Amino acid sequence: MIHSSCALLIIGGGPGGRVSYMMARKMGIDDITLVINEDPTVICSLPYSVGRRLVPAGPEAEMVNLQNPERLPADTLKDVVRGNVIDLELEKKTATIRQSSGDVEITFKKAILATGAMSWIPPVNGVTREEAPLDKSLTWVMVGKDIIPRSSLAENVYVMRGAEDSFSLDRFASDKRKAVVVGTGAIGLEMAEALYDRGLEVILIEALPHAVPFLDNEMTATVLERLESKNIKVITDTQVREVFREGISLNNGEKIHTDGIIFATGVKPNIAIAEGSGLGTEKGIIVDETMRTSHPDIYAVGDAVQLLDGATGFPVLPLIGTLAMRQAMVAVMNIAGMPATLPPATVWGLTAVFDLHLGGVGWSEEIALRSGIETMGITIPYRTREEAMPEGHHGTWKIVLATGISDSFRPGQIIGFQVVLDHESPLFLVERFIDIISRKETVNDLFGHYFVHSPYHNDIMDPYMNLMSIAQESMSKLQK
């Protein structure tokens, strides 16, 4: 076994790991080892690289070239070790890394775990090969509760999480005619559009009662209309029972013939190393506001980390790349002796399908109900320009208010926001409501958020005042 040492060990090459490395170098920490198990990439852009409409050059254009990096130090490659960490000894401060050529043991002073998340596939018959080939990729997926090499998946089963996935799906799209995408979250919708753009017939399957589960049901009608306009069939409240060479069978008895099945059924935090080492874990790795774990010299950032939701105080898994970057900055600043804490945060997401833009922040009514939170939803129409301007586009806003009494939140507190907007980006709305929800603001606090009117950009009706007025009236009725 080869032995080496470093001042800072970073495990993971995703957004959290890369920004941890970049910030550490900027802060004068030069003795670093960065462990990666796959070529780094811009994960969120991978579906678009398969579609080749927004990214004409394909997946290759989204790769992070470590030999000539644009954002990382020019000599990054000298600090990179390829492999998987198979053992982490907290007392000895050692990590064992398994490479194709053998094991390496690294002794460290401080460490940042940026182990991310892995694609999750429900335990369906036929999703794995009977005899898996030798795995050389070092990447993994979770099937049910089992972590398996990605190469163990059946030949016609795909996921979308990293570089290898994007290249595999790009090849699939080049010569196949039909695909089934299982899951209608952001990745499922983006992959459906990507494969449609490549000329494939696409069917979407959702196990839950309605499609797009990060939105409440009444917000999804426009999404379904847009998908149907592209002849994309959506099957809801249905599960895949079995995968076979020619396609799939469903739990309703239906069989669908298809060239490939893409499981976009979510991800699970990769916490195996943290659990095995004895670090505190629940849904994910437990950290404090400085990103420190239960060990004083071990920090954790990114998709493997659970946070306390800024709106409710409940533990959540945000699974957000840009949040991982902020966490990385906080962790490195503390390691470098510059005390810092992560500002309150919540969960959020933003995507688009066929130029229909969807955003969500915090809690939906449906998820809140399942968590025992009493809520009220308020929905209003929104227009991107004045009604007299035919180039304007329509959309819908929804806020979710807490109505019950709890130590975690106040009656009238805004704990969720959703938006569906045709043709134009609601990015600024999502960003504003991240702040509103994370800071525990109530509907009355909307009065402090000024509305800028420009006929070219929005309607003259102030949506914040409109929401506040409707909410106050609805809340007063509840109190009677």
Residue 135 lies in a domain: no
Residue 14 lies in a domain: yes
pLDDT score, position 133:
61
pLDDT value at 70 more than 60: yes
Verify that 391 and 289 share a domain, yes or no.
Answer: no
Verify that 384 and 437 share a domain, yes or no.
Answer: yes
Verify that 306 and 394 share a domain, yes or no.
Answer: no
Percent of the chain predicted with pLDDT > 90: 79
Verify that 354 and 461 share a domain, yes or no.
Answer: yes
Residue 452 lies in a domain: yes
Tens of pLDDT, residues 226-266: 999 999 999 999 999 999 999 999 999 999 999 999 999 99
Last residue of a domain, one of 304, 335, 366: 335
Percent of the chain predicted with pLDDT > 70: 98
Name the token pair of 326. Answer: 């902020």
Verify that 220 and 111 share a domain, yes or no.
Answer: no
Verify that 411 and 458 share a domain, yes or no.
Answer: yes
Residue 396 lies in a domain: yes
Q: Which domain holds residue 403?
A: 348-479
CATH of the domain at 459: 3.50.50.60
pLDDT value at 132 more than 70: no
Verify that 439 and 357 share a domain, yes or no.
Answer: yes
Tens of pLDDT, residues 347-376: 999 999 999 999 999 999 999 999 999 999
Query: Which residues lie below 8 Å from residue 390, measured CB to CB, with a gap of 6+?
Result: none
Tens of pLDDT, residues 272-321: 999 999 999 999 999 999 999 999 999 999 999 999 999 999 999 999 99
Closest listed residue to residue 10, CA positions, set 116, 98, 101: 116
Verify that 288 and 359 share a domain, yes or no.
Answer: no
Query: Which residues lie below 8 Å from residue 17, measured CB to CB, with a gap of 6+?
Result: 10, 11, 34, 36, 112, 114, 116, 301, 302, 328
User: What is the tally of structural domains in the chain?
Assistant: 3
Residue 407 lies in a domain: yes
Last residue of a domain, one of 264, 292, 315: 264
The pairing of beta strand 356-362 with beta strand 348-353:
antiparallel
Residue 140 lies in a domain: no
Verify that 203 and 295 share a domain, yes or no.
Answer: no
Query: Mean pLDDT, to the nearest integer, of 308-335?
Result: 96
Verify that 233 and 257 share a domain, yes or no.
Answer: yes
Question: Of residues 433 and 469, which shows the higher confidence score?
Answer: 433
SS in 3 state form for the chain?
Answer: CEEEEEEEEEECCCHHHHHHHHHHHHCCCCCEEEEECCCCECHHHHHHHHHCCCCCCCHHHHECCCCCCCCCCCCHHHHEEECEEEEEECCCCEEEEEECCEEEEEEEEEEEECCCEEEEECCCECCECCCCCCCCCCCEEEECCEEEEHHHECCCEECCCCHHHHHHHHHHHHHCCEEEEECCCHHHHHHHHHHHHCCCEEEEECCCCCCCCCCCHHHCHHHHHHHHHCCCEEECCCCEEEEECCEEEECCCCEEECCEEEECCCEEECCHHHHHHCCCECCCEECCCCCECCCCCEEECCCCEEEECCCCCCEECCCCHHHHHHHHHHHHHHHCCCCCCCCCCCCEEEEEECCEEEEEEECCHHHHHHCCCCEEEEEEEEECCCCCCCCCCEEEEEEEEECCCCCCCCCCEEEEEEEEEECCCCHHHHHHHHHHHHCCCEHHHHHHCCCCCCCCCCCCCCHHHHHHHHHHHHHHHHHC
pLDDT value at 480 more than 90: no
Verify that 379 and 422 share a domain, yes or no.
Answer: yes
Angle between helices 15-26 and 321-335 (to 10 degrees): 30
CA distance 266 to 119: 6
Last residue of a domain, one of 230, 264, 298: 264
Residue 132 lies in a domain: no
Question: Of residues 169 and 43, which shows the higher confidence score?
Answer: 169
Residue 141 lies in a domain: no
Query: Mean pLDDT, to the nearest integer, of 186-210?
Result: 97
Grade residue 135 by pLDDT with cuts at 50, 70 and 90.
low
